[in-house]
Amino acid sequence: MDDLLKMPIPFKTRQELAAGAPSGFLSIGHRGASGHAPENTRLAMDTAVRLGAQWVEFDVQRHGDTLLVFHDDRLDRTTDGQGRLLEQSLETIRQLDAGRGETIPTLQEMLDHIDRRVGVNIELKSFGGTAAAVASVLREYVDQRGWVPDQFLVSSFHLRELREFRRLAPMIPTAVLLCGVPLDLAACAAEIGAVAINLASDFVDAELVADARSRGLKVYVYTVNDQDDIEQLRACGIDGVFTDYPERAVFVDRAA
């Protein structure tokens, strides 16, 4: 593992990414390679790339006019800070250690760091303006910084927020996050124009998956770390998994 983590990071052109994403069985680094490095940090994203992930996923919350890459409501679990994220000043937040000397990045810092090496799934963690702020940033990165829309996938549990994102940036693909089996199956995703459902591993229901397929939707499953489980999901036609250990999904796909 140590030798693997020292390998140079491969660079993929935007043409290579656009040609192959999202398609095939994807290894999506959950908050980067968070089984190996502090979650939602630049180090975690670099590690995911080195381990072969085709995509990475990270969380975004709005803190005033700033979009921060961070998952929890509170700082305690993943940093040396305490208290609620939104109750701390931006100056304080930016000085925290998020693990192994990493800091909490902004969305723009994270995108600049990833620099189109892999596809990016952005989860909208907060609501009340997060969608609009993220849409503004991603439009800039598409229009001015060489990214293409298919290098992004924006997801959320907040369907109203996701619908607002779709209204403001219709060219960028979206996915509905599900932690259960809706009564109308995958209809909610189709109704807002999503291209995929991101489904919790405990709710991989055959009827839901079949309904998503019938509507032309991809199905990605989170968060799957056991290699046997990854193999079973690939065998039943799931399109990819979010995993803390991206190399496990890469191994399963190459061994198939």
Please pick, among 36, 71, 113, 158, the residue that the annotation labels catalytic. 71
Note whether 186 and 218 are within 8 A (CB): no
Q: CA-to-CA distance for 216 and 17, rounded, in angstroms?
A: 21
Q: CA-to-CA distance for 40 and 80, rounded, in angstroms?
A: 15
Q: CA-to-CA distance for 132 and 83, rounded, in angstroms?
A: 26
Strand partners, 100: none
Residues 6+ positions from 32 with CB-CB distance below 8 Å: 39, 40, 41, 43, 44, 45, 46, 47, 48, 56, 58
- The first and second tokens of residue 228, run together, are 């046997």
63 catalytic residue (yes or no): no
**Catalytic residue numbers, as ranges:** 30, 71
